[in-house]
Amino acid sequence: MHGICASHAPASALPPPRRHFIEGCIMNTWPHQSHLTLAAMPNAAYWARRHVENVLAEWQAETLQTDAKLVVSEFISNAVRVVGTLDVQTQAAYVQEPRAVSYVELAQLEQVKLRLYYGSGLLLIEVWDSNEQPPVEQLPDFESENGRGLFVVRAFCEKWGWYPTFTTDLSGEPRQSGKVVWAELVQP
């Protein structure tokens, strides 16, 4: 559920209230916040990195840019991979000529959400997707082209983890509606 290094809890358990500690104080509101919703497309990680770069420059936290872009890129890429994207034919058409794909087709895509929170030298990165499965950290296979993302994230972050998200159905019962993967970076 809510764990460092992707520890797990029963899916039926509700997550505890989210609080983050900065210099001994509970931060229920962060001085700087940014939220970005992206279509689950292959170029989502690119746009997320650009957003991180611009936002951290605005917040005068440029020293976190390199690590934050790496973490965001891994989280967004994983989210896009697990929730799906355009079918192969439509994706090929989009890559060749983006205007060849109708807005209706793009509007039907899954979404991923990036949230950034910053204060007192701490950056909290959260990425939401609709897939309910927890992220899986694998030992890296150095001959493979992928599969090292969360291993790399662990090396760059103070902490990272994930928690399930819930919505209420029509009967008032909570049901899982995805997950958030999060990481904390500390300004040097």
Decide: 127 and 79 in contact? Cβ < 8 Å: yes
Kindly state the helix (H) or strand (E) to which residue 33 belongs, with its residue range.
strand 32-39
* Of residues 35, 19, 22, 1, the one with CA closest to residue 123: 22
- In DSSP terms, 118 is beta-bridged to 32, 123
Identity of the residue numbered 131: N
Question: What's the confidence (pLDDT) of residue 11?
Answer: 34
CATH number of the domain located at residue range(s) 3-8+27-186 in this protein: 3.30.565.10
What is the arithmetic mean of pLDDT over 9-30?
45
- For the chain, which residues make up each domain, given as ranges? 3-8+27-186
**Residue 39 contacts by C-beta under 8 Å, 6 or more apart in sequence?**
106, 109, 110, 111
The predicted model gives 111-133 an average pLDDT of: 95
Q: At what angle do helices 65-83 and 44-58 cross, to 10 degrees?
A: 150
Q: What is the pLDDT of residue 25?
A: 45
Residues 29-79 pLDDT 10s: 789 999 999 989 888 999 999 999 999 999 999 999 999 999 999 999 999
Q: Which two tokens stand for residue 145?
A: 């082209």
Rg, Å, the chain Cα set: 17
Q: Could you tell me how far CA 176 lies from the centroid of its own chain?
A: 17
Determine contact, residues 183/153, Cβ cutoff 8 Å: yes
Stronger pLDDT, 134 or 108, i.e. the higher one:
134
